[in-house]
Amino acid sequence: MNLILVKGDKSIDRHHIMTIIIVIMIAEKRFEIIYPPIIKQHLRFIEPKYYAVIKESLEKQLQFQPDVETKNRKPLKRPVISGAKWELRFGPGNRFRAFYRIDNDKQQVLLLAIGEKLGSRLFIGGEEIII
């Protein structure tokens, strides 16, 4: 057993460290993702073979710390679509975009639009959107 010395004569092993890490991760705030009816309309214009990738990506990227900027998640400089304040890029070749707003008080992420980027053009609900 490998022991790690922690402050004075107290020591913990690797198992206890993993327990501490897991407890810290569980304590992290989890956000509920809200899919309003408009999202179904947007998805109708995306090939169904991508639905699982879309749902998995949204759940993975937005449940924890949806307001932390990353390589593919950025705050918008100005609200573009339905008052969205954030954009998430995901999927094969980052071809999909999700636009959302965060309600920290309710621990919710409200999806406002899901679109597909084809070349330099963004389509939401079958319509080209100029950003």
Q: Give the CATH number, domain containing residue 46.
A: 3.30.2310.20
Which pLDDT belongs to residue 82? Answer: 81
Q: Which of 112, 117, 114, 111 is nearest to 63 (CA)?
A: 111
Chunked mean pLDDT (size 10), the chain, 131 residues: 52 64 63 97 97 96 96 89 92 96 96 95 93 72
What's the domain range around 12?
Answer: 1-29
CA 35, 40, 44, 50 torsion-angle sign: positive
Q: 3-state secondary structure string, 74-85?
A: EECCCCCCCCCC
The DSSP line for 11-61 is: EEEHHHHHHHHHHHHHHS--PEEE--HHHHHHHTTS-GGGHHHHHHHHHHH
Q: Are residues 41 and 99 in the same domain?
A: yes
pTM of the model: 0.77
Number of domain units in the chain:
2
Q: Do 43 and 14 fall within a single domain?
A: no
Task: Return the pLDDT at 93.
Answer: 94
